[in-house]
Amino acid sequence: MKRQGKRTDLTSDQVGPKLTAKEISDVDSASQVKRYIRLNNLVPELLSLVDENRIALTPAVELSYLTEDEQKNLLETIESEDCTPSLAQAQQMRKLSEQGKLDMDAIFGVMTKPKANQKEMVRLPMESISRFLPKNATPKDAAQFIEKACEHYRRYLNRQRDMDAR
């Protein structure tokens, strides 16, 4: 009689107890659990790239907001260009998708842009160039100084080439 009117199907499961995101968050944060759940919106091929660690979790969550067709187009670009999206690229594609502007050309354009961490850089220790720089030069000042010096040197070489051609 005490149990009359109480539903037991809301709190138990055949496999085990039902857990909330908060209960699971003892291991991971609740937002992290929600990100993992969001991955279920990815097409299986993209999800396997996440499983293989070729696509990081956060970009994958952004990609999960794309339509199935957009995800398939992205997968074609990933395969043809042998590249995976960065977080910034995934966010850009999500934004384009929300605007209804994400087609194959837009995906290709986003994916073929060089990523910030892939830009080639030249690094020089300040002590190796400090004798050429004005005193108290900041790294930004040093970069500008080096650019100007290279430009002057290029002009010098062009003048030399022109004189030799005569």
- Collapse the DSSP code of 54 into the 3-class scheme (helix H, G, I; strand E, B; otherwise coil) and give the result: coil
For 104-131, what is each residue's pLDDT tens digit?
999 999 998 877 666 677 888 888 888 8
Which residues, in sequence order, are CB contacts of 61 under 8 Å at separation 6+? 35, 38, 39
How far is Cα of residue 119 from the mean position of the Cα atoms in its chain? Answer: 14
How far is Cα of residue 13 from the mean position of the Cα atoms in its chain? Answer: 39
130 compared with 10, residue with greater pLDDT: 130
Residue pair 55/85 in contact by the 8 Å Cβ criterion: yes
Query: How sure is the predictor about 1, in pLDDT bands with cuts at 50, 70 and 90?
Result: very low
Task: Give the position of tokens 């957009």.
Answer: 70
Q: Return the pLDDT at 20.
A: 64
Q: Is the pTM of this model over 0.85?
A: no
